[in-house]
């Protein structure tokens, strides 16, 4: 087993944001921790997935998934810049991404960290 920890989204929280694709190959479970540098931000943070197949030899660098779905129970509501933790106990997806949809613009940044367990 291996543990993967890294930042998957770091940007101003004044507009809605979408992270780049996350390669979920061989990940078993994951948690996403979103936090804000201010108390103004409000909206939702959700995790989407895609199982779009890749062309051999073109797995990570050039491939762009196009068919994204919301993962059930993988959405958190942000109020007054509160932190959000989203946990996915069993992953069965090839690609993941994070979507922040603002309902009230913040004046700071949003940071989403991924902590995943893989094989």
Residue 35 near residue 108, CB atoms below 8 Å: no
Q: What residues have CB less than 8 Å from 115, skipping those under 6 apart?
A: 3, 4, 5, 30, 31, 33
Tokens of 74: 């993988």
Q: What is the pLDDT of residues 2-58, one digit of tens each?
A: 888 999 999 999 999 999 999 898 899 999 999 999 999 999 999 999 998 877 655
- The enclosing domain of 112 has a CATH number of 2.60.120.380
Q: How many other CB atoms are there within 10 angstroms of residue 113's CB atom?
A: 15
**Domain total in the chain:** 1
Structural domain of 104: 2-118
Q: pTM of the entire structure?
A: 0.91
Q: What is the pLDDT of residues 44-97, one digit of tens each?
A: 999 999 998 877 655 656 788 999 999 999 999 999 999 999 999 999 999 999
Band (pLDDT 50/70/90 cuts) for residue 1 is confident
């Amino acid at each position: 087993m291996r543990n993967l920890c890294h930042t998957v989204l770091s940007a101003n929280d004044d507009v809605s944001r979408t992270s780049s694709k996350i390669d979920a190959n061989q990940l078993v479970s994951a948690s996403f921790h979103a936090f804000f540098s201010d108390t103004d931000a409000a909206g939702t943070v959700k995790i989407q997935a895609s199982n779009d197949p890749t062309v051999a030899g073109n797995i990570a660098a050039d491939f762009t998934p196009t068919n994204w779905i919301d993962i059930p129970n993988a959405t958190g509501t942000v109020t007054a810049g509160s932190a959000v933790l989203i946990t996915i106990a069993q992953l069965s997806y090839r690609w993941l991404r994070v979507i922040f949809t603002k309902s009230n613009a913040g004046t700071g940044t949003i940071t989403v960290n991924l902590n995943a367990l893989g094989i």
